[in-house]
Amino acid sequence: MNLEDPWQRIRARAGLQDVHIHDLRHSFAGMLASNGVSLPMIGALLGHTQASTTQRYAHLAPTPLKDANEAAGAKIWAAMGG
């Protein structure tokens, strides 16, 4: 399936000069990573067969990692009677 012609029309209508279909995939994956979706799930949604392909999006998920770390710390603190 050739998406180039419809993509060119969409870009022209939206006034987007230098946006590629891959940019949409990257934005989609980045949004998922930033919202705590696991890398295996993102890979499945993008059709990746290798985890290393999806790994490039790991840097886009600092907030979920921080949140998970803080939640774990809070549970440990509560278990210690804090």
Structural domain boundaries in the chain: 4-79
Report pTM: 0.62
Using CB atoms within 10 Å of the CB of residue 17, give its burial: 0 to 12 exposed, 13 to 18 middle, 19+ buried. Answer: exposed
Lookup: tokens for 45: 């949604």
Interval 49-74: pLDDT, tens: 998 888 887 776 666 667 778 889 99
Q: How far is CA 70 from the centre of its chain?
A: 21
* pLDDT reported for residue 1: 74
Lookup: tokens for 61: 């998920």
Interval 31-55: pLDDT, tens: 888 777 888 999 999 999 998 888 8
Q: How far is CA 40 from CA 11, 20, 57, 66, in A?
A: 31, 24, 11, 19
* pLDDT reported for residue 3: 86
